[in-house]
Amino acid sequence: MLLTQIKIIVEPAKIPFLQTDKFDRIIDLISLLLENDLTPNDITENYQFDKRQTDYYTSAGKYLGLLEKPGKIFTLTDEAKYIWRQPHKLKYLKLIETILTHEVFNQAFKLSLETGGILSKEQITKLMSESNLNINNTTIDRRASTVKGWIYWIWSQID
Tens of pLDDT, residues 50-73: 888 899 999 999 999 999 999 999
- Mean pLDDT of the 122-148 span: 88
Please determine, for residue 143, whether its predicted confidence score (pLDDT) is greater than 60.
yes
Point out the least confidently predicted range of 50-64, 121-135, 142-156. Answer: 121-135
- Mean pLDDT of the 111-124 span: 93
Cα separation, 19 vs 5, in Å, equals 27
User: What is the band of 135 on the pLDDT scale with cuts at 50, 70, 90?
Assistant: confident
- For the chain, which domains are there? 18-87 (1.10.10.10), 102-159 (no CATH)
Q: Let me know: does 112 contact 155? Beta carbons within 8 Å.
A: yes
Q: What is the pLDDT of residues 1-12, one digit of tens each?
A: 567 789 999 888
Please determine, for residue 132, whether its predicted confidence score (pLDDT) is greater than 80.
no
Q: What is the pLDDT of residues 72-98, one digit of tens each?
A: 999 999 999 999 999 999 999 999 999
Please determine, for residue 158, whether its predicted confidence score (pLDDT) is greater than 90.
no
What is the CB neighbour count within 10 angstroms for residue 1?
A: 6
Give the model's pLDDT for residue 47: 84
Q: Please, what is the angle between helix 88-100 and helix 137-158, to 10°? A: 150
Which residue type sits at 23?
F
> Pick from 55, 52, 150, 48: which is nearest to 95 by CA?
150
> Pick from 96, 81, 84, 86: which is nearest to 150 by CA?
96
Give the model's pLDDT for residue 63: 94
Give the containing element (helix H, strand E) for 75. strand 75-76
User: What is the share, in percent, of the chain residues with pLDDT greater than 90?
Assistant: 73
Give the model's pLDDT for residue 11: 85
Q: Let me know: does 74 contact 39? Beta carbons within 8 Å.
A: yes
Q: What is the pLDDT of residues 20-47, one digit of tens each?
A: 989 999 999 999 999 999 999 999 998 8
